[in-house]
Structure formats: structure tokens, C-alpha cells
Structure 1
Amino acid sequence: MQAVELFARPAVSPALELGAYEELWAQDGQTFKRLADLFGKSVNDLPSCFVDAATATERAREVLRIFKDKRLHDAGFVVHGTMDYPDSLRDAKNPVQCLYYRGELDLLSAPYRVAVVGSRDASEDGLKRARKLARRLVEDGVVVVSGLAKGIDTAAHTAAIDAGGKTIGVIGTPISEAYPKENAELQERIAREYLLVSQVPVIRYAQQTPYWNKLFFPERNATMSALTQATVIVEAGETSGSLTQARAAIDQGRKLFILDNCFGRGLKWPERLQSKGAVRVTEYEEIRGRLDIPAHTNR
């Protein structure tokens, strides 16, 4: 569905809501938590309830100019309260009201969606495990979800595509930016052939320094967890962003799987998360069984 079609919907104006969302993010000290609290206290939680129409319209025009300059003619926008908004997001601690997207939004309604995540500086064994896991998931008709970071994320996305499956990229930058730059081509392919989603405001991101923009990534992980039925950690260090997603998965009532190779390596997080409900797995069939995935549904 193209942006032109989205912006023509009669009930809720995505253009107005987009602009209002961007304007709310322009306020000093704005955070996802503050926005979630604001909307949580409101009976009608559309962003346009808190921003005047003229300001929202101008903000929307700014974003559309950026999209036009970057030749993003297929960018869309969904807001809570409309039928395209994925209800699974409401399980997040601070659920986002809005998502930018490019691609096949229906992938968020696929029967099985599993996040495969892990270290950016992954070992060769870790990369092999991520690729193998992604291939096995694809064989069973599962949509592979990841964050388009280096390392495990990249391995999971590319293996899913190479195996003829579908994948979703949940990014911590605006829909108009690619990070890391070396994944720009992969990100573009996912956006054109599969699905790319972001909750990051375009204008605020452009005006902030990288130091502040990196704070969008932990929230991205919480959203990725909410959009899936399960998260699998392939390999991660003690400070990995994957652990943010792991904690979110537990809080959201999602399944959390940790590959067996993560244990017994002097790391404290595997046992800590296992004590909170994470499942240690040695074979793919354990993941399939706990998610009740029928074997080879796409064959």
C-alpha cells in the first residue's frame, strides 16, 4: 500500500496524525514513556488530539519533503485506533502509538513471527547458528524478525531471504535512514520485498546528536519483542542490546529462548534470564514444540 493511498483515508488522516506525532516528539525531554503516559490518560489517544491541525500539517509536510528527497515513495504510517495498527504492540510496557513502515504490512499478521537476535560482534559459530536457525524457521513458514544490525541480525535476515522465506526489519533509526551504512542495500531490499518498520520520529532524529539518538534502540527492541511470539538469543555479551529485548519479552509474556551455547562461558545473563522464565534450547525442535509450530507448513 503506497503512501498516497494511506493519506487519502477518510476516517483518520494519517497525514495529520503523522505530523502531530512528529510535533509531540519536538517537545523538549520527550520520551516514549512520557508519550505512553500521555496517551494512556486520554480517552481518544490520537496524536492530533494534542496538537493543533495547522502545526501538525506543517510537520507532516516537512516529513514528506524528506521522504521525497530520499525517493521514499512507498512509506506508510499507521496509528493506534485504526485497523492496520498491530494490536500486539499494546503488550509493551510503553506501547508506541504510531509506526512508520515500508513494504508488506500484512506480515505483522502472519501466524508465526520469531525474532532472532544477538551480538553485533558475533563469532563465526554464532553467525552459523543464526543462519541455520533462520533457515529452519523459514522451512516451517515462520517470518524471521530482526533489527538489521551487524552480526547476528544480518545473518538472520540474509539467511531467511536466501532460503526463500519472509523477514521483517525493526530498526532503531527513522524509516528514511539506514544504520549501519553497510546494511543500506539489505535494508532497501527488505523494505521493497518484505517489511521494514520504525517508531523513530524523522525530524527529532535529524536534529539530535548520535549520543541521544542511540537511546531509540532499546525502545526498538521492546517493540520488536511485542511484534513477535518469541525471541531467540543466539549469542550475546553482558552489555548486548539483545538483553533489553529479552527482558521486554519476559515482561510482555512472550517466549524467550536462549541457545545452549550461550551458557557456561562465564556469562551471568543466561542463568539470570533462565531463572525468570527463559528456556534453554539445544535443538530447533524444542522451539518448534513450545510455539506449536506445525512442521514444514510452507511446503
Structure 2
Amino acid sequence: MAKLAPRGSGPAIAPISPMVELGAYEALWLEKGATFKTLADRFAQDPNALPSDFVEPGAVEAALKEAVAHLKNASVERFGVRIHHAGDYPAKLRDARHPVEMLYYQGSWEICEAPAIAIVGSRNASDEGIRRAARLARELVSRNYTVVSGLATGIDIAAHTAAIESGGRTIAVIGTPLGTYYPAAHAAMQRKIATEHLLISQVPIARYHRQHIHQNKLFFPERNATMSALTEGTVIVEAGQTSGTLTQARAALHQGRKLFILDSCFQRTDITWPERFEKMGAIRVRTPDDIWCSLG
């Protein structure tokens, strides 16, 4: 892969080494106070920069060695990266409020190029919510959409499972590094998706393993923004008033993606967020046709 010169200024100006950029990205995350926002702001000041432009070679090598050691310990033998300005990095990720410069993945990256819809919702989902998520996933598969979710308990796992059982494609965007399983009960499903479908992570490996587990929870809301950016729209099956799912709802509207909310959410008396998001442009789904008509 090669680093491209600014438009109109000539051919590629330097080769890009995925492993060097991986090490540099990891090193940036080991700097004090690094967040998705601070890194996005840094790259926004130099839109043509790569991670290695900001990191000394010694720091790159050390961070790369640490990250690769964690992957080997987790038995992650095959994986890839997608780097902004190189190869098949999805341009639609730039719609995120704090776009990431690099993604880690396992599986078939080509799946990312197909039309996709995210199905998300509560971890503590009701039985009916689980059934609705599964029915919706099957419908999406029948219309050749890829089903995207976050591999969490409840709505997420129901959507992934139904998509796979229906012979469709699924993408899991996880809030942990590759080779780390949360929840642990979904380890087999994560390995299956990583082998037969597509598993994506934006979580820095060394930083994740260095810091406390409570700090790592902050990676989960950020992955919702990436999940939204990768899709044409998000469907919320059910969610509480303070659910992390609402992070994805806000991201979808900010990114110009479709946001669908099932009618059953509006019928609940213990939450007010459905009406609020409908006023902001979300689509109330009374029948599946409301989704298909909106998608054209």
C-alpha cells in the first residue's frame, strides 16, 4: 500500500507499512490523556497525516511488540488492519464525529462493502424484543442486507444468530480488542463471526490491557458511532431511558444515517426518548414496510 499525495500533486509519495502504522496507532493511545476525540482533533489538523507521522520509531517498535504479544497470547493468529489513507479503509467512517484512523479486523473484509443495517437494543431485552430482533434480521437477510450489531447480550446476539441461521452475512463491531471476549458467554459466536463473517474492533490493544476494566467500559459507546457509520441505518428494537443504545441513535442522526425505532418503544410509558428522537428525524416503524420504503 502507498501513501497518496494530495489530490492533483502527483503519484504516491511513500510506502505505507501496516505494521508500522499499527505500532504508531498503539503508541498514540499510550500517550497520557489519549481519547478518540483528542486523536481525531490531532489528525484533523493534518488531514494527510498517518499515525507514524506523530510517533518516534522507538516508540512505534515498543508499542507494536506489546500489542502483538497480547494478540499472540489471545491466540489471534490471523488479523488485518484498515488505515486511513491506505487500501480499503471505508470512507464512510469519516462521517463519525471522532473518526478513527485505524480498524482491526478478522474475517472477510469484503462483507463491509455490501449494504448493511444495524440492529441494536437493550442487553436486558424482553422475550418479545428478542423475537422482534430475530424477525427483523431474517427480513434483512432476505433482502440481501448485512446485519450489523455489537455482539452484546440481548438484542445484539439475537440479531447475529438469526442472520447466520438464515444464511446471511453479519458484522460484529466489538468494544474490546481482537481476542478479548465480552461477554465471555459469546466467545464461540465471536470466533465464528471472525472466521466466517466479519469482526471489527477499533480498541487499542496495549492501552486496553494496561488500564483498569472500569476505564475500558468507555470503549463501548465509541464503537456504537463506528457501527452506525458503517451502515445505511440503525434499527432500535428496544432500549431503556439511559441505554447505551441511545449513543448510536445520536450518532446515526449526526452522520446522516437513517434511524428507525420500532413502534413498541413508543408504546412504553416508562421512557420518553422515542418521541425525542422522532422529532429529530427518526422514523417510527409500525410495519417493516416503513423501513423498506425509507431505504428505497
CA distance in 2, matches of 1:205, 1:59: 12
Match of 1:113 in 2: 116
Residue of 92, 95, 104 corresponding to 2:96: 92
Aligned AA (2:19)? A
Match of 1:51 in 2: 55
State how many pairs are aligned.
282
CA distance in 1, matches of 2:140, 2:47: 40
Residue of 96, 105, 128 corresponding to 1:101: 105
Match of 2:168 in 1: 165
Match of 2:145 in 1: 142
CA distance in 2, matches of 1:126, 1:98: 34
Seen in structure 2, the aligned counterparts of structure 1 residues 211 and 290 have a Cα distance that, compared at 3 Å, is same
CA distance in 2, matches of 1:184, 1:92: 28
CA distance in 1, matches of 2:187, 2:153: 11
SS of equivalent residue, structure 1 residue 99: strand
Seen in structure 2, the aligned counterparts of structure 1 residues 270 and 53 have a Cα distance that, compared at 3 Å, is same
RMSD, aligned α-carbons: 1.0
Match of 1:296 in 2: none
Q: Does the 8 A contact of 2:76 with 2:178 survive in 1? A: no
Q: Does the 8 A contact of 1:144 with 1:160 survive in 2? A: yes
SS of equivalent residue, structure 1 residue 165: coil
- CA-CA distance at 1:289 after TM superposition: 1.6
Q: Does the 8 A contact of 2:70 with 2:206 survive in 1? A: no
CA distance in 2, matches of 1:75, 1:167: 17
Please report the TM-score for the alignment, with normalisation by the length of structure 2. Answer: 0.93
SS of equivalent residue, structure 2 residue 60: helix
- CA-CA distance at 1:105 after TM superposition: 0.7
SS of equivalent residue, structure 2 residue 78: coil
Aligned AA (2:199)? L
Q: Does the 8 A contact of 1:218 with 1:241 survive in 2? A: yes
CA distance in 2, matches of 1:162, 1:130: 13
Match of 1:250 in 2: 253
CA distance in 2, matches of 1:43, 1:291: 32
CA distance in 1, matches of 2:151, 2:266: 25
SS of equivalent residue, structure 1 residue 205: helix
Matches within 5 A, 1:1-299: 11-110=15-114, 112-266=115-269, 267-292=271-296
- CA-CA distance at 1:11 after TM superposition: 2.5
Unaligned runs of 5+ in 2: 1-13
Residues 243-288 of structure 1 deviation map (CA, whole Å, 9 limit, x = unaligned):
0000000000000000000012121000000000000011112211
Unaligned runs of 5+ in 1: 1-9, 293-299
Seen in structure 2, the aligned counterparts of structure 1 residues 56 and 258 have a Cα distance that, compared at 3 Å, is same
Aligned AA (1:81)? H
- CA-CA distance at 1:59 after TM superposition: 1.4
Residues 100-155 of structure 1 deviation map (CA, whole Å, 9 limit, x = unaligned):
00011111111x10000000000000000000000000001000000000000000
CA distance in 2, matches of 1:137, 1:214: 30
- CA-CA distance at 1:83 after TM superposition: 2.3
Q: Does the 8 A contact of 2:137 with 2:162 survive in 1? A: yes
CA distance in 2, matches of 1:68, 1:216: 22
SS of equivalent residue, structure 1 residue 217: helix
- CA-CA distance at 1:43 after TM superposition: 4.2
